[in-house]
Amino acid sequence: MDTVFIEQLTVDTVIGVYDWERKIRQKLILDVEMGFDIKAAAASDDLSKALDYSAVATALTQFIESTEFKLVETLVEQSAELVLNQFAVAWVKIKLAKPGAVRGSRAVGVTIMRTAEGHGAN
Ligand SMILES: Nc1nc2c(c(=O)[nH]1)N=C([C@H](O)[C@@H](O)CO)CN2
């Protein structure tokens, strides 16, 4: 299976468990990989046959900007759900990084991989 990816997608949102975090927007950085067969797009040179990474990035950005979750786990799980429901991918892997959240670290966060089984777009 081929992979279409989005690296270092940066989104500002309300995220965090502490009171001070509920009052500010913080930067999150996402690395997204999606399982998608690119052969039809390559053979036709036609965007409509491709997985439009721009459309995925826009959908994720709009969704994440509108959320106010406490845990990065909740946000990454729902972001994976969005990709699987709205785009015809076989699987999605998302690394969600919260930079500066823990002193001494560059970033903290979670990585998940979810498959399309049982989702609408496939
Ligand atoms: N597994 C997690 N641990 C922590 C989270 C989280 O979302 N998942 N969040 C926090 C705080 O919001 C932290 O990021 C503030 O610095 C702590 N641990």
Please give the Cα distance from 42 to 23 (Å, whole number).
Answer: 46
pLDDT of residue 61 exceeding 80:
yes
Residues labelled catalytic: 98
Length reported for the chain = 122
For ligand 1, atom 12, name the residue with the nearest CA. Answer: 16
With a 6 A CB cut-off, is 77 part of the ligand 1 pocket?
A: no
Select from 72, 73, 75, 111 the residue to mutate for testing ligand 1; criterion: most ligand atoms less than 8 Å from CB. 72
pTM above 0.90, yes or no: yes
Residues 41 and 50: beta-carbon distance below 8 Å: yes
Q: Is the pLDDT of residue 121 over 80?
A: no
Q: Could you give the percent of the chain with pLDDT greater than 70?
A: 98
Task: Tell me if 94 CB under 6 Å of ligand 1.
Answer: no
Q: Are 96 and 78 spatial neighbours (Cβ–Cβ below 8 Å)?
A: no
Confidence band of 100 (pLDDT split at 50, 70, 90)? confident
Could you give all domains of the chain from N- to C-terminal order, each with its CATH number? 3-119 (3.30.1130.10)
| pLDDT above 90 as % of the chain | 94
| pLDDT computed for residue 38 by the predictor | 98
11: nearest Cα among 85, 96, 101 = 96
What ipTM was assigned to the predicted interfaces of this complex?
A: 0.97
75 lines ligand 1 (CB under 6 A): no
Please state, in angstroms and as integers, the Cα–Cα distance from residue 25 to each residue in 9, 11, 16, 58, following that order: 16, 9, 10, 19
